[in-house]
Amino acid sequence: MPSSGAAPGADDNASGTAMVTAAAEVMAGYCFASTVKFIAVTGEEQGLHGSDHYADQAATQGEDIQAVLNGDMIGWE
């Protein structure tokens, strides 16, 4: 749902999701000492709804997040 104009985010959501799935495919053959999660969220153009919800839930559950790689807008010129 666009918050303004034709469709904000249409140029980056697919590219960011493609990055997440490509990274998961590449990293699937490796073992890590810590849990690695690959997530894609929506509702960002309307106010970071997806990422805020995930971060709130992670904090509530006591997750110890060590790092974040944000692939938002990698397909934007």
Q: Tens of pLDDT along 24-71? A: 999 999 999 999 999 988 766 677 778 888 999 999 999 999 999 888
C-beta of residue 12 within 8 angstroms of C-beta of residue 42: no
Q: Which of 13-17, 20-24, 53-57, 72-76 has the lowest mean pLDDT?
A: 72-76
CA-nearest of 17, 4, 11 to 50 is 17
Number of residues assigned to the chain: 77
CA 57-33-40 angle, 5° bins: 40
Q: How far is the C-alpha of 40 from the C-alpha of 34, rounded, in Å?
A: 20
CA-nearest of 7, 1, 5, 15 to 50 is 1
